[in-house]
Amino acid sequence: MIPDRLTDAEWLNRLAVQAIFAALDGDQGRTRAVGGVVRDSLIGRTREHSDIDMATELLPVTVMQRAKAAGIAAYPTGIEHGTVTLRLDDTVVEVTTLRRDVATDGRHAEVAFGTDWFVDAERRDFTLNALYCLADGTLFDPLGGAGDLLNGRVRFIGDAEKRIEEDGLRVYRFFRFSASHGGELFDADGMAACRAAVGWLSHLSRERIGSEMIRMLALPHVARTLAVMAEIGLIAADEAALRALVQYETLGGKRLETRLALLAGDSIETLRDDWRLSNALVDTATSIARAADLFADGKTGWAAYRYGEDAVEGLALAAAREIWPRERLMEAARELGRLPVSPLPVSGKDLLAQGMQPGPALGATLEKLERIWVESGFSLTTEELLAKI
């Protein structure tokens, strides 16, 4: 059953949100919440800090004037496209004037403002994103998106090929939403349009593609989606990586960085460039992959010592990549959990105090003691290690 209105959405009952509605004629239906926050409220999936978007009949300059008069901070963050960002207390709302596309080049659209809610809905990507609600929670569903949402169907609005021509990034969004809201099942018309579009998406910026892929890799289940994307040539992934991704999810894994390490294999630097990944993300994925290599060689202590918390995901990656029997995985996990990992209790100062001279020999001795200490299970004391010199 599709409800007529939202009744218990925390964000909707927030005083700041209602104040913004009031300032923008929300009681008359001239301003309505739209998109993800409405969609996810309908299925009980909102997060504590979900983005709040509103659409309005009011022109951007009017939105800013009304907001300031009501004591609401207003920022013209995308005013050329009709978007104003409002802030009241800790609540941030993006308000965009109803619009229609006049022209588009597949990346950017030239828009004209209007007051027609159906036209505004028809310019969006998927029916489940063309959901609105009024200030009192009453739903406005001009394109049947609620039914698609509740049935787990990610369907392009109108002609799928035309929607993709307007913005090629919608190919990636189709797969992301199919994974997040479609149970990794793919609408036939949308799938055909995406397959046909793969060859002409080179104009998309790497940052936009990377953003979509990172959001996708952070979803609870995405292995099947990635396999389909690889099959149509949208991403590069070999069969071994795809099998490992399935196995990783079977083990309960959901970590973005681990999936990235599995997908990239030895090509993490290539993905860094292709998707404009952050150094922090790549460094963590690299640490997880190196820890996995140590686990594969039976070097649990070294994995724990060198990679700390990342070793836990490294263990999952190794088990997924090589499809370990459950008994081997559980034993490795128990061994990892028993290790009292801490910094090497011997330093260069200790060796100098023992009469050693600075230089290569001192460094080699430290490396030897480190190896002895790790292979002892981190059990030797400073005195016991020094006695090994």
Pick the CATH number of 157-235 from 3.50.20.10, 1.10.1050.10, 1.10.110.30, 3.10.129.10: 1.10.110.30
Least confident of 211-215, 287-291, 321-325, 350-354: 350-354
First to last CA, the chain: 76
Q: What is the pLDDT of residues 199-251, one digit of tens each?
A: 999 899 999 999 999 999 999 999 999 999 999 999 999 999 999 999 999 99
Average pLDDT over residues 292-307: 91
Q: How confident is the model at residue 295 (pLDDT cuts 50, 70, 90)?
A: very high
What pLDDT, on a 0 to 100 scale, did the predictor assign at position 349? 87
Poorest-pLDDT segment among 31-35, 106-110, 259-263:
106-110
pLDDT > 90 in the chain, percent: 71
Mean pLDDT of 76-81: 86
**Separation between Cα atoms, residue 169 and residue 155, nearest integer Å:** 15
pTM above 0.75, yes or no: yes
Beta carbons within 8 Å of 46's beta carbon, 6+ residues apart: 9, 10, 11, 37, 40
At the second CATH level, the architecture of 1-151 is 2-Layer Sandwich (3.30)
Q: Work out the mean pLDDT of the chain and round it to a whole number.
A: 91
Tokens of 37: 């926050």
**Numbered ranges of CATH 1.10.110.30 in the chain:** 157-235
pLDDT of 108: 57
Question: Residue 292: what pLDDT?
Answer: 96
Q: What is the pLDDT of residue 240?
A: 94
Query: Which part of the chain is CATH 3.30.460.10?
Result: 1-151
**339 Cβ partners below 8 Å, 6+ apart?**
300, 301, 304, 377, 378
**Which residues make beta-bridge pairs with 101?**
111
Give me the numbers of helices (H) and strands (E) for the chain, helices first please. 20, 9
Torsion 236-238-244-246 (CA) sign: positive
The string of pLDDT tens digits covering residues 252-294 is 999 999 999 999 988 898 899 999 999 999 999 999 999 999 9
